[in-house]
Amino acid sequence: MDNNTHTFNSYWSGQVPFIASFAVQQLRLWVSTNPWFTGQDYNAWFELPRGTLDALQSEYQQQWGELGQQLLSGQPFSFEDRRFASGNWSQPLFGSLAAFYLLNAGFLLKLLDRLPIEEKKPRKRLLYLVEQAIAAGAPSNFLASNPDALQRVVDTQGSSLLTGLLHLASDLQEGKMRQCDSDAFEVGVDLANTPGEVVFENALFQLIQYYPQSDTQYQRPVFIVPPSINKYYILDLRPDNSMVRHLLQQGHPVFLMSWRNFDQAHAATTWDDLIETGIITGLNVTREISGEGRPNCIGFCIGGTLLSTALAVLAARGDREIASVSLLTTFLDYLDTGPIDIFVDEQLVAYRERTIGGIDGPIGLFKGEDMGNTFSLLRPNDLWWNYNVDKYLKGQKPNALDLLFWNNDSTNLPGPMYCWYLRHTYLQNDLKSGELDCCGVKLDLHAIEAPAYILATHDDHIVPWRSAYASTALLGGTTRFVLGASGHIAGVINPPAREKRHYWTNDRVTEDPELWFKDARQLSGSWWNDWFVWLAEHAGERQPSTTPIGSAHYPALEPAPGRYVKQ
């Protein structure tokens, strides 16, 4: 080793800066004991030039010294980080704890950024682990070092501690950290209360037909496939932000699938079952009841993936009779799966196949609580530790927000379906290959020749917008791509009356998403306005609204929202 290269143990000789070297050593030790990195040659990751370590430590020592002087002189601290934003953190003791924590956190991230890790997934995994450790170690997470929580103990004469323990016991019993109390809303009363009837059900789903909310209606209904990993009412929250209600008010007849919350009795359900017995059945029932053979189809998140699969299966059978397809924050090409990519590899998928997928092992369920907790930890400061602090340390009741209530109302997935999905999308990305077998045919997404409206959201960490954009090259019909502001949920559920956010449009769909974005026009307000105009062009003629629900063959079974969504 030459004099300009550092390995993790060379600091013992005093030849390199101690603090930076010690941090490198700890990262290397962490990697060597983590199964994520088993079998990888990671030694080269921790070789840094001497000059890099010198510069990092010099900057660290300068900032450390400045904070020390601030502490000794009794100057108040101030922070932009909202975890330490209150005036209680300005006093020297607690302020210095927060300041030195932020200094060390920034130092670790800068060090990690300079490690010569060329492979993308190992770098992302190490960054994830470091960010989790940093988030967990914040002084705000501990009662003794959180002045806001201590002040609340005094103000409530200790009752906040008891309330916090009760919140903790309730969450432990439920198996998840709730971001909204389970009694904050009631499905069918406060949420999912758009009038309608269940007109069909089988073991997998209920089909809801909604009553008209306009004097005239379009000829063609919309058929909606929501995600199977959450309850459908993300599309029918409260009246002011219900996409279902807005579609009805625009004059669209609406049919919507409500997936059941799968239990052990339905654990053997496969991906093919969801396509054949689920979506294809629901689409055909919609056609029969409405008397219209070419509905407009809408899929949200994995609901869009399932819908596209079903339409490709039908196309392979010679049935291409749909008026249009709208895919909202949907993967078809899993070229970049965002932060979730760190969890998926052959080892994980094979483990799931053995333990719940029925491949040389038992059949079981993938629990909704596990998925919910995983998604929350992708943004630990925003969706995990802040709720721990507010609920457990301060004893505060979470805000009653409909989106958070829905987010905590998780559902289970059947093991075989979940394992098929993991392997053929996130791991192998062969849904787009044209060679994948499904329901007895080869899947060819290009055979979907109907006009397509593809929505992505700019800050989506679940379906990165460039991956959603890749769908424009996979479908066989004309496509319109629109990019909304915000993230996976808030960017989609954005009713026009609120006049919030903005969106980008560009009539020219290019091969390169960056070129599309460069030439796109930014418009204020909700993307729903653009979508409603596009959807109307494919909805047929308007006619007087009629109220009959169902048909002689498919009578109304029970009022919306139905039993399945309440399971």
List of domains in the chain: 5-150 (no CATH), 156-183+370-404 (no CATH), 196-367+412-566 (3.40.50.1820)
Comparing CA positions, the residue from 515, 442, 509, 518 lying closest to residue 478 is: 509
8 Å CB contact between 194 and 560: yes
pTM of structure: 0.91
Q: Three-state SS across 208-274?
A: EEECCCCCEEECCCEEEECCCCECHHHHCCCHHHCHHHHHHHCCCCEEEEEECCCCHHHCCCCHHHH
| Beta-bridge partner residues of 494 | none
Residue 466 is predicted with a pLDDT of 97
Give catalytic status of residue 301 as yes or no: yes
Residue 17 is predicted with a pLDDT of 58
Rg over CA atoms, the chain: 27
Query: Residue 27: CA atoms inside 13 Å, Cβ hemisphere, count?
Result: 35
Question: What is the distance between the alpha carbons of residues 197 and 555, in angstroms, rounded to a whole number?
Answer: 9
Q: What is the DSSP letter of 456?
A: E
8 Å CB contact between 492 and 457: yes
Q: Which residue in 180, 301, 419, 439 is the catalytic one?
A: 301
* CA 88 to chain CA mean position, Å: 34
Comparing CA positions, the residue from 468, 470, 479, 355 lying closest to residue 419 is: 355
| Phi, psi of 184, deg, nearest 5 | -70, -30
8 Å CB contact between 472 and 508: no
Residue 402 is predicted with a pLDDT of 92
Residue 5 is predicted with a pLDDT of 43
Residue 377 is predicted with a pLDDT of 81
Residue 206 is predicted with a pLDDT of 98
pLDDT per position in the chain (567 positions), as tens? 344 444 434 433 344 456 777 888 888 888 888 888 888 888 888 888 888 888 888 898 899 999 999 999 889 999 999 999 999 999 999 999 999 999 999 999 999 999 998 888 899 999 999 999 999 999 999 999 999 999 999 999 999 999 999 999 988 888 778 888 888 899 999 999 999 999 999 999 999 999 999 999 999 999 999 999 889 999 999 999 999 999 999 999 999 999 999 999 999 999 999 999 999 999 999 999 999 999 999 999 999 999 999 999 999 999 999 999 999 999 999 999 998 999 999 999 999 999 999 888 899 999 887 887 787 888 888 888 999 999 999 999 988 889 889 988 889 999 999 999 999 999 999 999 999 999 999 999 999 999 999 999 999 999 999 999 999 999 999 999 999 999 999 999 999 998 889 999 999 999 999 999 999 999 999 999 999 999 999 999 999 998 789 999 999 999 999 999 998
What's the start-to-end Cα distance of the chain, in Å? 63
Tell me which H or E stretch contains 352: helix 346-355
